[in-house]
Structures are given as structure tokens and as C-alpha cells.
Chain A
Amino acid sequence: MTIATRVWRNVARGRARTLGVAVAVGIALSAFLILSQINTGIGASVASAEAALQDVITVQSAGASTFSFNTHMNGSAASKVATAPYVTSVQRILIEAPGANFSGGMPSGGSPPSGSANFTLYQGIDTDTSAGIGLFGGFGGESSFTITAGRDLDAADENSQVALVGSSYASDHSLVPGSPISVNGTTFQVVGLYSTGSMFGGGAIIMPYPAAQAAFAASGPNLLYVLVGAASDLSAAVQDLRTILGSSYDVTAPSEDAGGGFASALGSVLSSTQFEADAALAVGAAIMVVVMALVSAQRTREIGVMKAIGFGNSRVLAQLLSEGILLSAFGLPIGLLATVWIGPSVAQIVASSATPSGGPGGFRGGGFFTARLLGRVSFAITPEVLVLGIAVAVGFGILGSLYPIMKALRSRPAEALRHE
């Protein structure tokens, strides 16, 4: 009889115990995998995104404020900016709010100004996200952007008449993905619904920039986000843009606070997910220690018998360790399935805890951006995730088993045989 057969028989002997261990390990494993994937997903975007945000230049019509929705730039300005030296990417933002009166400016707290409660906010954006900024900026306080139905906009939508609709607007107008929606007389197709938790975000309609520009017959965007290749090029890029655009446009270099706020928000999420992933690992290992301590206690007598009939410590250790690993491995499929099923929900919870932070012009919050990043983290079972899952499950089995088994092995056979 091989050691593998004995291991299998012993694990199969206590089915309830095996199931209990599998569920416990599965939960700990999925918590670790989910948090690791969130951490990895954000981490991969952080370097480029953070660098990009540090280098974001905003361009607006001279004297325009963030809420000067009716002040459009000249259509050729964006083209001039795109071909300027140092510029690597330009994101056009068009914001329209027909019927809204913002002459008094935007009060703090995210509420619309008095007398402007019944308006719809339309936002046109370049959907190519390769620049690393994200689809569109967030309003201060919007820390959780979540697609609640359908899909997000992506680069392929750049020339389509499609729209994302805020959940409160969709609810008021009975819209679902696939519904047609009229935007200033032009029909768009709703491809997804989103929620942000604020009345501005929840009441907005987001479209690809070209379609939005056509629908509102706008001469150009209200705002440009301009990325340069490196932080060292920032000053030169700002100077060149001011020269190219002249006094008709304000070219603003990012404030220190913008990048700092973003970095702080992402750093906060990164460190908290790392801590939580580590905690999940520790909890998983602790579960296995407790379980294997119980299993070893129940089987102390068996350990005594094996030693009494001539099995050395190493052979008993190999058998019991294999049993611990096999027990733990049963949690692997549970952990992987749970990762796929509940990963997006966990990401949403993590996103809602991200610290919001305003960006240049108030349209790009670090917390909001973090929420967008989290919404895009994949929880699919890739080969890498599978390997990580197997490694962690085996690790749980070894770490959890080693101490109680070693403790049992240290006792003399006579002592172990007396164990009830």
C-alpha cells in the first residue's frame, strides 16, 4: 500500500471534516486571491497613471471656469494641442447642461445651484483610455463608479452613437441597456447603466466625444486634458502650448495637490488591499493550524501506533503533511469559484472606501479614478491565478499542519498511545 493510498483513505474517512476544511480554506483563499488581484490590478496601473496625472495639463477657453458649460473651445485648438511638442495624448471633454443656470458658480457639496435642479448633464469624452486618465473625470465626492447593467464605454465606441446613463436618470426614464435615448434630437443607444452615489453622476449621460459634439453642434470641447511624455517636459510643454494657442486659452500646469491627492488615494487602497490580502493569508493559515491541531489530536494515538510498529518520524510526517496538503487542496476549487463570483462585489466595496480627491478643474478625483480602475480589475481564473491559488492552498496545508504534527511527533510512542 502506497503512502498516497493511505493519505487518500484518511482524508476520505472524515467527509464532514474534509468539507468543513475545504469551505474554510476556500473562503480564506478567495479573500486572498480577490485582494491580490485588486492589488495587482491597481498596482499595474498606478505607475503609468500616476506618472501621467503628474504630467496632466488642462486647457480651457480664457477666463472659463470649470462650470462654464457654454464656453466652447475652437475646434482646431484640440488638433493644434495634439500635434504640439512633448504632447503624447489629448482627452477632449465636452459638458453640456441645457437649461441649467450656473452663472452663480458651483456651490460646494456637489449640489446643483439654486433654480437649476431640473437639468440633465451630458458629457462627451474620448473613450480611448490608452492615455491612462480614464474615461471621464469624477465630481468631487464621487468615489464609486460602478457599471450596474450592460457594459462600460470603450475605445471601440469612439465613433458610435452609444451612451452610458446614470442610474437615477435611467430609473426616471425607464431606460435599460439597449434602450434608445434622444440627446438634443439625436438618437443614441444605451449600452450600460452606472451608479456613482451622487445626484450629479447618477443623473448624467456619458457619450463618446465625437457623437456628443455632433449632437450639440458644439464647436469644440470645454476642456482638454493634455499628457506629456515625462514630468521633465512639463514646463516646456506648457510654454509651447501657450505660444501655440495664444491668449485665447488658459494653459494650466497641474498643481502639486492633484497628483499628490491621486497618489494618496491609490496608495491608501494599495496598502489596505495588501494588508487585507496578508490578513486573509494569516487567517487561512490559522484555520489550517486549528483544524490540523484537532486532526492531529484525534490521531495522536494513530501516530503512536505507527511509531510503535516501526515508522520513523520522517515517514509519519510525510504522511500527515500530505494529508494536510490534500485537505487544504480541496478548498482550491471553492476558492477559485468564489473569487470569480464575489470578486467584483468585493472590488465595489473596496472602491467605495477609496478616498476621493479632486483633480485639476475639479473633474478628476483620485478616489473616483480608483473606483474606475477597480471596476476594470479582472477576476477570471488565469493560469497565473491558478498557480497562485495552488501555491497558497499547498502553503496553507504545510503551514497549518507542520506545528501540530511536529508537536505530536515529539511525544514518545507510549505517551501517544495513552492519548484518548
Chain B
Amino acid sequence: MSETTEPMIRLENVSRVFPAHGEAEKVRALRKVSLSVPKGARIAIRGESGSGKSTLLNLVGGLDAPTKGRVVVGGHELSEFTERELTRYRATTVGFVMQAFNLLPALSARENVELALEAAGAPRAAGRERADELLGTVGIAERAEHRPARLSGGEQQRVAIARALANRPSVLLADEPTGNLDRKSRRAVTTLLRELSEKTGTTLLIVTHDPNTVAACDTVYRLHHGRFTGEPMAVNPSRRADSAREIEEADDQDTSDSSDDDE
């Protein structure tokens, strides 16, 4: 296989079992999941709560390790990394956007972005310049001095996106990035993620419930009880709004079916 055809992200029969006191209580979050994401692709992963979406993202981000299987990113199998290499990988190869924003409360917006640059070893002056540039890119340059407690949810998520992009990662991972936002902010953050991915060629892997965010991606996978179900759905770039509506209707139908089953 040539270098150009090597996918950016490759999961091979990945399982993740969380230990518990008894065998019956073990949580099998992922069951032999395989996935191949080309470089620059924008992938959405859907699924109900507890289906294993966040676990999958954590494995790709090097925040967790699989119980079985291989996670290969940029041609490197993560399980072969030393702790130091894994730390470097988190700092430079992947950027993480989380639902709860996870900004450090004692630091300003700019300092939160600078922190990621510091982790990667960027010089302080260059780090400050880059942080300001990114805050400008995500549209909150004027809020650079504010601490998270004084920012709205949408603004905090923009800071988190700026932080995730600080070191120009090859892969941007977003875990429910719009989950805590109002409708207007959801749309703005979704558009921002897509545009940044298109502009920088960053591979985007988003876990989300939000149909609009799903429709902003190129391909949609669905996880159910730790396994991918059905065929991945390709989103028509010229019909994103329709795709979002169709996904929403499908979700409503699923919810309705589920209610009928319960009865």
C-alpha cells in the first residue's frame, strides 16, 4: 500500500471493555469496531448515549487504550508509543474539542490557547501571537482576556476549538461539540469546524447527536451497542440542509419505534 493511500485513521477490530467487579457487570463499550478515515475527511459518528461514541474518540485521541485491536493514526500504532511519545502525539497530532469545553478556569481565553502551545514546546512570544490569531479566527479576539466563567457557552466552545487547533493537528476530534450550546451557537460552531477543516485539510472526526452537525460532515457512521450498524451514509454537499432534515426525521422515527417497543 502506498503512502498516499494510507488512511489517516484506521481502527482494526477494536474492542474496549471497562472492568467491573463481576464478569456480568463488565461494560463492553466497543466490540470489534473497524474504521478507515482518509486524510482530510470529515466523519460524523452518531448513536444513542452509551453506544461507544466517546470511547471511540478517546481511543483515537490517545486518551484511552483499547482492550483488543489496533488504533493506527498517521501510520503509527498508538499502542506502540511510549508514554513520552503518546504525550507528544496528544500535543501535536490531535486536537480535542469536548462537550464540556474543559477550559482551565484560572486562565484567560488566550492563556487557555497558549497552554496547548506550551505543551507542544512553542516559544512564549510565538505562542501568544498564535493564540491571538486563533482567537481571531474563531471570532472572539475581543474576549481574549476573559476567563471562562465570563464567557458564554458558545464563546467557551470557540476557545476550546482554538485550543484544539493551536498546534495545527492532523486530526481534529470533537466530542459533542455543540451539545451544550443554544441553536444559534450550534450552527456557528458547526460551520466553524467545517470551514476550518476545509481550510487546513484537517481530518475531522465528530461524535454528535446534532443533525445539523452531522450534515456538515461528508460521511456518517452509526454506532449501536458498541458496533457500527448499517452502511455509512454519504452526505450530499449540495443538499446538506435536506440531509439534516432527513437525519432528524430518521431520529424521530427511531425514537417513536423505541417508544412502541417499550409499550
Contacts and interface: CB of A to CB of B under 8 A. Distances in A.
B63 A310 contact: no
B132 interface: no
B87 A414 contact: no
A6 B114 CA distance: 12
A4 interface: no
Interface in A284-335: 301-302, 304-313, 315
Given A412-B63, A417-B102, A310 B116 contact: yes
Given A302-B104, A312-B87, A414 B58 contact: yes
Contacts of A417: 63, 98, 102
Q: Is the interface of B mostly helix, strand, loop or mixed?
A: helix
Nearest to A312: B87
B115 A1 contact: yes
Contact of A313 (B63, B83, B107): B83
B90 A310 contact: yes
Interface string A340-358: 0000000000000000000
B179 interface: no
A6 B124 CA distance: 14
B120 A310 contact: yes
Given A1-B115, A1-B118, A313-B83, A308 B96 contact: yes
A302 B100 CA distance: 12
Given A9-B107, A412-B65, A310 B98 contact: no
B92 interface: yes
Nearest to B65: A412
Contact of A6 (B65, B107, B119): B107
A16 to B, nearest CB: 15
A126 B190 CA distance: 93
Contacts of B30: none
Contact of A305 (B58, B83, B102, B111): B102
Q: Is the interface of A mostly helix, strand, loop or mixed?
A: helix
A173 interface: no
A13 interface: yes
Which of B58, B114, B163 is the most central at the interface, judged by chain A CB atoms within 10 Å of its CB? B58
B64 interface: yes
B91 A310 contact: yes
Contacts of B1: none
Contact of B61 (A12, A308, A312, A313): A308
B88 interface: yes
Contacts of A312: 83-84, 87
Interface in B72-118: 83-84, 87-88, 90-92, 96, 98, 102-107, 111, 114-116, 118
B96 A309 contact: yes
Contacts of A306: 104, 115, 119
Nearest to B101: A305
Contact of B116 (A302, A309, A414, A415): A309
Contacts of A308: 61, 63, 90, 96, 102
Contacts of B167: 310
Contacts of A13: 105-106
A222 to B, nearest CB: 74
A47 B88 CA distance: 61
Contacts of B83: 312-313
Nearest to B103: A305
Contacts of A221: none
A312 B83 CA distance: 8
Contact of B106 (A9, A307, A311): A9
Given A1-B114, A6-B107, A301-B102, A309 B64 contact: no
A310 B169 CA distance: 12
Contacts of B55: 414
Contacts of B120: 310
Nearest to A14: B106
A315 B105 CA distance: 19
B163 A1 contact: no
Nearest to A7: B106
Contacts of B88: 310
A9 B167 CA distance: 24
Contacts of A304: 63, 102
A273 B61 CA distance: 56
Nearest to B127: A1
A413 interface: yes
Nearest to A2: B124
Contacts of A315: 119
B116 A413 contact: no
A1 B109 CA distance: 12
Interface string A382-420: 000000000000000000000000000000111101000
Given A309-B91, A309-B96, A414 B107 contact: no
A395 B159 CA distance: 38
Which of A1, A6, A413 is the most central at the interface, judged by chain B CB atoms within 10 Å of its CB? A1
A226 to B, nearest CB: 70
Contacts of B124: 1
A189 interface: no
A415 B64 CA distance: 8
A311 B104 CA distance: 13
A317 to B, nearest CB: 13
A414 B114 CA distance: 22
Interface in B228-260: none
A310 B87 contact: yes
Contact of A311 (B96, B107, B119, B163): B119
24 contacts: A1-B124, A6-B107, A9-B106, A10-B106, A12-B106, A301-B102, A305-B102, A306-B119, A308-B96, A309-B91, A309-B116, A310-B88, A310-B90, A310-B91, A310-B119, A310-B120, A311-B119, A313-B83, A313-B87, A315-B119, A414-B58, A415-B64, A417-B98, A417-B102
Interface of B: 55, 58, 61, 63-65, 83-84, 87-88, 90-92, 96, 98, 102-107, 111, 114-116, 118-120, 124, 163, 167
7 residue pairs, one from A and one from B, having the closest CB atoms: A310-B91, A310-B119, A414-B64, A414-B63, A9-B106, A414-B58, A413-B63
Given A309-B116, A309-B163, A310-B167, 8 more contacts: A13-B105, A305-B103, A308-B90, A308-B96, A310-B92, A312-B83, A312-B87, A412-B63
